[in-house]
Structure 1
Amino acid sequence: MKILTTLALLLFATLSFAQQDPIYSQYLFNPLLVNPAYAGLNNRFNGSVGYRTQWMGLEGQPQTINASLHSSLVQNKVGAGLLVVNDRIGNLNTTEINAAFAYKLQLENKMVSFGMQAGVQNFNNTMNGVNPFDPSDDLFLNGERGTRINLGAGLALKSENYFIGLSVPRLLPTTFKSGDQEFDLYNQHLYLMGGYVHYLNERIRLKPTVLLRSVKGAPASVDIAMNINLNAIHTAGIFTRNLNTYGVLLQTLLKDQYRFGYVFEIPTNKSVGTQFATHEIMLGIQLTTFGFHERSLSNF
C-alpha cells in the first residue's frame, strides 16, 4: 500500500504537474494566506511563520513553509503586506512571493475590505529519482523550471461577532510548455470562508468556522471546525475536511502579542490510510506599532 501511494504521489508531482494550492488548517491564524483582503484588517502589525508537513513518513510528502508581514496603515484606512510561500511535493518545488494591498471601509460596526495581490511564482521540477522510459528525453535530463507572474483578489466583511471572506488568490492561469505540450502548474482556486462567535459567558466563546475551496477539475473541499476560546487567550478545536480527514487544533496567546498554534490531522480515506499523520505549526506576533493601531484584540 505504501509503495502504491508513493508512486501515485510521484506521478502526480512529476508528470501531470497540475497542482492545487497548499492546504492550511489554521487559516484563521493568518487569513492572508488565502485572501489578500485581510492585509491589516485587524488594525495591527502582524507577523507570522508556519510549517506544515502532510502525511508524515510518506516519501514525497507535501511540505509547506510560509512567512508573512502585514499591517494597517494611513489611520487604518488601508492595509499592506508581504507573503512568501514555499511548497514541496515529490520533486516539484514551488516558491511564491506576493505583495498585498487592501482598502478598508468602515460601515457602522462592520468593516469591508477589498484586497489585491501581485507577485511572482517560481517552480523547479528536478526529476530526481524518476526512472524514465527514454533516458535521452530532455524533460528527464534537465527537469522543468520557470517563473510566472501572479495576480489575486479578495473581499472580506467582518464585525465583532462574524466574518465572511471571498477570494481568488491566483487570477491568472499558471502554465508552462514542454516541447509541444502545455501543462497546468496551478489552477484557479475560489475560497469562501466564514465564522461566527457565540458568547457562552464572559470567559468562554464558541467559534464555528467553515472554509470552502473550489478548483476546476477537482471536487470541492470543505473544512468545518468548532473552536472553544477561554478568556480570549487559549483556544482548542476540532475539525474535519470532507469528512475523511479529522484533526485537533490548539492555540494560545501570550501578553496580547505572541501567538502559537498547532494542528494534528489524521486522514481516514483509502488513499493513504491512517498511518500518515499531518502536523502544522504556526508562530505569530501582533503589535500596536502606530498610534492609530487598536489596542484591543478582535475576535477575527
Structure 2
Amino acid sequence: MKYLYLTLLLGIYHKTFSQGDPLYAQYLNNPLVINPAYTGLNNNFNASVSYRKQWSNFDGSPTTFNVSMHSSVSRNKMGLGILLVQDKTGVNKNTEAYTTYAYRLKLNTMQLSFGIQAGFINFRTNNDALNAYDPSDPAFSNNLNITKLSFGAGIILSSEQFFAGLSVPRMLRSTIVLSDDNTNESVKAELYDQHYYGTLSYMFYLSPRVRFKPSCLVKYIPGAPVSVDYTAAINLDQKYSAGLFTRNANTFGFLVQLRFASAYRFGYVFEVPTGNSVGTRFNTHEVTLGLNLAVFGFQTTTLSNF
C-alpha cells in the first residue's frame, strides 16, 4: 500500500502528459509546423491558419489549432517568423508560442537552410471537466498549469524539384515532480519527449501543366515505434492539387489544395483510421487557409513547389 498512490499518480500523469506533437497531414503545405528552417524559404510573406479535428465524434479526441506567419528578409538570405499552436486532448491542453529564424546558403542550384525557434509550452489540465472522479484521489487532486521554455532546430536542403529536411522542433525534455501527500514521497514524470522528424519530397514534371509529387514524413520518438507518412499528389497548373496518403497503414486519406486569386490557398484533408486504430467510424478533418505574397522588392511572385 505504501507505493499504491505514488504508482497510480505516476502512471496516470505519465500517460497524460508525456504527449506527442500534434499530427499534421498537410505538413508539406506548411513545413514550418515541424521545421523552423522553412522560415521564409519560398521567398514570400506567408500566413497560415489551420484547424484539425482528429477522430470526430470520439469524446475527448484531439483538436489542434495553429497560426503561423513568416517571411524572407535581408534579400532572401534570412527568414523571420512566429508560430502559435494549441492542442487539446480530453482535459489536457497544450499552448505553444515561438519565434523562428532561418539562415540560407546557396549551393549552385540548391540551397541549404538552417533554422531555430525559441518560445514556451504551457501544459494545463482541467480535471473539473471530467464526468466522474474521486476528488480525494491524489492523481486528480490538483489541476496543473505549468509553463516551460522550449527550443527547436532544423535543416532543409532544397531546390526547385527536391526537398529534404531534418528537425527537432522541441529539443528540451520537460518533466514534473509528482508527490504523494500520504507517503511524502515524490518522483519525476515526463511532460514531453523529443520528437525527431525527417521529410523527403521530389517534384516530377509530367507535362508543362501537370506535376507529380511523392513525399514521405518519418517521425521518431525514443521508446516508441517509428511513424511514417507516405503521400502522392498530382498538381495542375500550380493551382490545384489532389493526393492520397497513409500513416503506418493504420490511417488512409486524401487531400486537396486550391490556390485562388493568385495569393490565397485553401487545403482540406479527410482521414479514415482502420480497425487497428480507433475504428473507421471516427474520421479526421483538417482545414487550412493560407496567404502567400511578395511584399518586398527582393521577393519573388513565382509560386514555389514546396
Interval of TM-score (by shorter of Structure 1 and Structure 2)? over 0.9
Where does the alignment leave 5 or more consecutive residues of structure 2 unmatched?
Answer: 1-10, 180-185
Are the aligned partners of 1:14 and 1:91 in contact in 2 as well (CA < 8 Å)?
A: no
- Superimposed CA distance per residue, residues 133-175 of structure 1 (whole angstroms, 9 cap, x where no aligned partner): 5x22455233111000000000001101110000000111112
Distance in 2 separating the partners of 1:270 and 1:138: 33
Identity of counterpart residues, as a percentage?
48
Counterpart position of 2:182: none
**1:252 corresponding residue in structure 2:** 258
Partner of 1:287: 293
In 2, Cα distance between equivalents of 1:150 and 1:258: 31
CA distance in 1 between partners of 2:187 and 2:240 (Å) = 51
Whether 1:100 and 2:100 are equivalent positions in the alignment is: yes
Deviation track 1:176-206 (CA, whole Å, cap 9, x = no partner) reads 2222132211210000001001111001000
Match of 1:240 in 2: 246
Secondary structure of the structure 1 residue equivalent to 2:141: helix
Question: Kindly tell me: are residues 108 and 204 of structure 1, through their superposed partners in 2, closer, same or farther at Cα, counting changes over 3 Å?
Answer: same
Report the equivalent of 2:208: 202
Q: How many residues align?
A: 289
- TM-score, normalised to structure 1's length? 0.93
Runs (4+) off by over 6 Å: 11-14
Is contact 1:14–1:92 with CA below 8 Å preserved after alignment?
no
Partner of residue 5, structure 1? none
The alpha-carbon deviation at position 207 of structure 1 amounts to 0.2
> Whole-Å Cα distance in 2 between the matches of residues 86 and 165 of structure 1?
24
Q: Choose 1 or 2 for highest CA Rg.
A: 2
Deviations 1:86-131 (A, max 9, x none): 0000100010001110001111111110000000111111112164
- Give runs of aligned pairs for residues 155-170 of structure 1, distance below 5 A: 155-170=155-170
Partner of 1:193: 199
Q: Does the 8 Å contact 2:14/2:189 carry over to 1?
A: no
1:60-209 pair list within 5 angstroms:
60-127=60-127, 128-129=129-130, 131-133=132-134, 135-137=135-137, 139-179=139-179, 180-209=186-215
| 2:225 equivalent to 1:219 | yes
Residue 269 in structure 1 maps to residue 275 in structure 2? yes
8 Å CA contact 1:87–1:95 kept in 2: the answer is yes
Distance in 2 separating the partners of 1:197 and 1:26: 16
Q: Which runs of 5+ in 1 are unaligned?
A: 1-10
1:239 maps to a residue whose letter is F
| Secondary structure of residue in 2 paired with 1:211 | strand
Asked if 1 retains the 8 angstrom alpha-carbon contact of 2:14 and 2:191, the reply is no
Question: TM-score, normalization: structure 2?
Answer: 0.91
SS of the aligned residue for 2:22 comes to coil
